[in-house]
A and B are shown apart, each in its own frame.
Chain A
Amino acid sequence: TAGITQAPTSQILAAGRSMTLRCTQDMRHNAMYWYRQDLGLGLRLIHYSNTAGTTGKGEVPDGYSVSRANTDDFPLTLASAVPSQTSVYFCASSAGDTQYFGPGTRLTVL
């Protein structure tokens, strides 16, 4: 079982460009999450989805959008990237209180 996969592994992006970070899970979990992790700030929730077709805003949603068309996929889109969005992005899923994380995408916005 792959669990959660994320793509790409890393990316360098020019400021102002758009990008979609992909996340797929094969555990049939209802809930999915996107976090960013920055040194000294820890994990911060960007957006979440409790079930397919619904999404919600987390702690730091500005500049990001998500969609949840089906149970398995939860893409995160940066419409117009800015340098402050340089971070490591983790996708997670859960069927209850425990969350399972993907390997992360390391994004640098120049």
Chain B
Amino acid sequence: QKEVEQDPGPLSVPEGAIVSLNCTYSNSAFQYFMWYRQYSRKGPELLMYTYSSGNKEDGRFTAQVDKSSKYISLFIRDSQPSDSATYLCAMSSGGSNYKLTFGKGTLLTVNP
């Protein structure tokens, strides 16, 4: 079993839809959870950062962590064509080792 599993999609939704992106993980040592957005032919950019279980909201984006189920989600409300990108989850156990473990990414297309 891979440490981080993420459905690669592709996922295609109409503009204005609510999007749900998910990752599962197997390593219970992971404490820090991130979502990155990567536009075509660009580097990944940090979108959301969370620590511990619960929800974190930033504008149209909500990150949710459920450590008991080893499951994280990213919700996008009122999706826009500019949200079309690949979304990667990433996680870390923290400490002096800053290495991240990434999901393979989900390709999202929001159609106008």
A contact set with B: CB distance below 8 Å: 4, 31, 33, 40-43, 45, 48, 50, 58, 90, 94, 96-104, 106
Considering only CB atoms, which chain B residue lies closest to A10 in the complex?
B41
Whether the Cβ atoms of A48 and B104 lie closer than 8 Å is no
Answer whether A102 and B43 are a contact pair too, CB < 8 Å, given A40-B104, A42-B105. Answer: yes
Residue ID in chain B nearest A43 by CB atoms: B102
Chain B residues positioned under 8 Å from A99 (CB to CB): 46, 90, 98, 100
Q: Which of B10-61 contact A (CB under 8 A)?
A: 32, 34, 36, 41-46, 49
Q: Can you name the residue of chain A whose Cβ is closest to the Cβ of B95?
A: A97
B12 to chain A, nearest CB (A): 18
Cβ contact of A50, chosen from B34, B98, B104, cutoff 8 A: B98
